[in-house]
Amino acid sequence: MKLEQHQITSHNERLFSRHQQQLAYVTTEIQNSALILQKLTDFQIGIPSWALGTGGTRFGRFSLGGEPGNIEEKLEDIGLLHQLNASSAAVSLHIPWDSTSNVPAIKAIASQYGLNFDAMNSNTFQDQPDQPQSYKFGSLQHVDKAVRQQAIAHNIEVIRQGVELGSKALTIWLADGSCFPGQLNFRKAFQNTLESLQEIYAALPADWKVFVEYKAFEPNFYSTTVGDWGQSLLYANKLGPKAFTLVDLGHHLPNANIEQIVSLLLMEGKLGGFHFNDSKYGDDDLTAGCMKPYQLFLIFNELVEGMDQRGMNHTKDLAWMIDASHNVKDPLEDLLQSVEAIMIAYAQALSVDRAALVQAQAENDVVRCQEILQHAFRTDVRPLVAEARLRAGAALSPLTLYRESQVRKELIRNRGNKTIATGL
Ligand code: AOS
Ligand code: ZN
Ligand code: ZN
């Protein structure tokens, strides 16, 4: 389903005069609003193919209806999001949840919606019906070489499919680890994983990157073989210049200082990408910014400062992706909220008075440092984010338009009421 241009136009006309007033105010408050607008227009966030249907937990799943049943429908959904917010120009696929058997058709649909293929995700955390070896005791770390080989071959196959689609990166998240003390020799597990990763790394095309995603716990509850940014960075450093760490916001132990991690990874040139989400307890995969918007801002504050220090391109040099999964919301509405929260945090970080902060830090003026950051955080930049969308031909209020045009009703009419999206 696609929106008609006149639907967007008339929505924007209705909200325009109020928007103008709000924008006028914020542009007097923020010095560099022209630059921020440009950066917001350029910024694009990858949508995970597995976030388009309602997720579930081991306690059950509640179908929403109208969910995409195949990759073509997933691309349609992301295309719709991109029409609404002009900030979701990429999809992150998951193999084998997504079938790429018809590459020309997939590419044609993607280009029709103006979508690119962000990092490809491999899956060695589940057994597929036809596979000879089981991942019950790990994949790249496994004590049995045959299992490791199967997992390596899968990752290389994912790269091959990604090349055909025009993706430029592979994200490896491993469930590998152990559930009980004594189950694993930590060093052997690390070495096996490293050797396996080296084989995958050797298969990367010259212009590809590999992202090593870490996670503190779950599904293993005693040790995880890529458990934190230290372990991920060890792998990335040992692998070479095409290997990077991927930070998923939900993958830390409680209260971890993620903004400091981000800052140091950037300093080392080893930050590769992001999985945005939010959480209260663990890997909750909730809507970005729904729990800790100040933390999201502080992370972006480090990102902007660190990327500018290194002369990096904000949009192209890191892979920005959402990783979310929901039980109670319409996933499309949820993704609109996540993208909005990310854009707001980014705009706030861009508005920080950097020179004043540097000076206040040099003077150990702790109060002033806090004031500078909180001023940026507490200034309402939403009109800037809306203006960037307006200029890109998208909706002033994507969520409002989504609801007004009764998208979900239409999707249910087309795809049915009892739908299961492939994924977790
Ligand atoms: C798992 O916890 C990780 O966040 C993964 O990045 C992701 O959710 C999974 O690989 C789905 O593709
Ligand atoms: Zn993730
Ligand atoms: Zn996760």
DSSP string for residues in 339-359: HHHHHHHHHHHHTS-HHHHHH
Write the residue with the smallest CA distance to atom 1 of ligand 1.
Answer: 173
Q: What is the rounded distance in angstroms from the CA atom of residue 75 to the CA atom of residue 304?
A: 30
With the most atoms of ligand 1 within 8 angstroms of its CB, the residue from 173, 174, 215 to mutate is: 173
94 lines ligand 1 (CB under 6 A): yes
Which amino acid is residue 27, in one-letter code?
T
Atom of ligand 1 nearest to the CA of 97: 12
- The pLDDT of residue 322: 98
Atom of ligand 1 nearest to the CA of 48: 12
Write the residue with the smallest CA distance to atom 5 of ligand 1.
Answer: 173
- The pLDDT of residue 421: 67
- What does pLDDT average to in each consecutive run of 10 residues of the chain (424 residues)? 94 98 97 97 98 86 91 97 98 97 96 97 97 98 98 98 98 98 98 99 98 98 98 99 98 97 98 97 97 98 98 98 93 98 98 98 98 98 98 98 97 89 59
- The pLDDT of residue 54: 86
Is this model's pTM higher than 0.90 or not? yes
Atom of ligand 1 nearest to the CA of 94: 12
CATH number for the segment(s) 44-337: 3.20.20.150
What 3-state class would DSSP assign to 320? strand
CA-based nearest residue to 302, from 371, 250, 350, 247: 350
ipTM confidence score: 0.96
Beta-carbon contacts of residue 276 (< 8 Å; ≥ 6 apart): 45, 249, 288, 296, 320, 321, 322, 323, 324, 338, 342
Q: How far is the CA of 387 from the centre of ligand 1 (A)?
A: 33
Q: How far is the CA of 226 from the centre of ligand 3 (A)?
A: 13
Atom of ligand 1 nearest to the CA of 323: 8
Own/partner long-range contacts of 302-305 (Cβ < 8 Å, ≥24 apart): 302/259, 302/260, 302/262, 302/263, 302/266, 303/262, 303/266, 303/349, 304/346, 304/349, 304/350, 304/352, 305/263, 305/349, 305/352, 305/354
215 lines ligand 1 (CB under 6 A): yes
Atom of ligand 1 nearest to the CA of 283: 2
**How much is the CA Rg of the chain, to the nearest whole Å?**
22
220 lines ligand 1 (CB under 6 A): no
275 lines ligand 1 (CB under 6 A): yes
Q: What is the rounded distance in angstroms from the CA atom of residue 182 to the CA atom of residue 192?
A: 17
Break the chain into its structural domains and give their ranges.
Answer: 44-337
Burial 6-28 (b: 16+ CB within 10 A, else e): eebeebbeebeeebeebbeebbe
54 lines ligand 1 (CB under 6 A): no
- The pLDDT of residue 55: 81
173 lines ligand 1 (CB under 6 A): yes
Atom of ligand 1 nearest to the CA of 123: 10
With the most atoms of ligand 1 within 8 angstroms of its CB, the residue from 93, 154, 212, 213 to mutate is: 213
50 lines ligand 1 (CB under 6 A): yes
What 3-state class would DSSP assign to 166? coil
- The pLDDT of residue 422: 59
Ligand closest to Cα of 285 equals 3
Question: Residue 235, exposed/middle/buried by CB under 10 A (0-12, 13-18, 19+)?
Answer: buried
Ligand closest to Cα of 275 equals 2
213 lines ligand 1 (CB under 6 A): yes
Q: What is the rounded distance in angstroms from the CA atom of residue 98 to the CA atom of residue 74?
A: 9
Write the residue with the smallest CA distance to atom 6 of ligand 1.
Answer: 173
Atom of ligand 1 nearest to the CA of 246: 6
